[in-house]
């Protein structure tokens, strides 16, 4: 599996570290309530298809990436900088 880092270009999977579902990019407001925070912290989708994830390019430039990956085939649909997704 190879990921195309927007900064470094296409790199081997070993340079990256998986950080979890991209849910973590949508942090609820401090007063959003228990349900929203419970969802943010604990509840995750488990699809057999495309999943939005956060990876970090640990052994490369260090950027955090939002990756859309098909978890059945490992096909990478898109890779974006998490910083740009957040803006």
In angstroms, give the least distance from the CB of 79 to another protein: 14
Long-range contact pairs involving 8-13 (C-beta distance under 8 Å, separation at least 24): 8/57, 8/60, 8/61, 11/57, 11/60
In angstroms, give the least distance from the CB of 56 to another protein: 10
Rounded Cα distance between 18 and 39, Å, is 20
| Residue 15 binds another protein (CB under 8 A) | yes
Stretch that binds another protein, among 9-17, 24-32, 41-49, 69-77 (CB under 8 A): 9-17
Interface positions with another protein (CB under 8 A): 7-9, 11-12, 14-15, 58-63
């Amino acid at each position: 599996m190879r990921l195309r880092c927007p900064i470094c270009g296409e790199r081997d999977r070993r340079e990256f570290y998986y950080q979890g579902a991209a849910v973590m990019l949508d942090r609820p407001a401090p007063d959003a309530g228990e349900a929203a925070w419970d969802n943010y912290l604990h509840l995750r989708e488990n699809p057999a298809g495309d999943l939005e994830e956060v990876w970090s390019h640990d052994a490369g430039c260090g950027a955090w990436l939002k990756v859309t990956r098909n978890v059945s085939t490992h096909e990478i649909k898109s890779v974006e900088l998490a910083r740009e997704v957040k803006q």
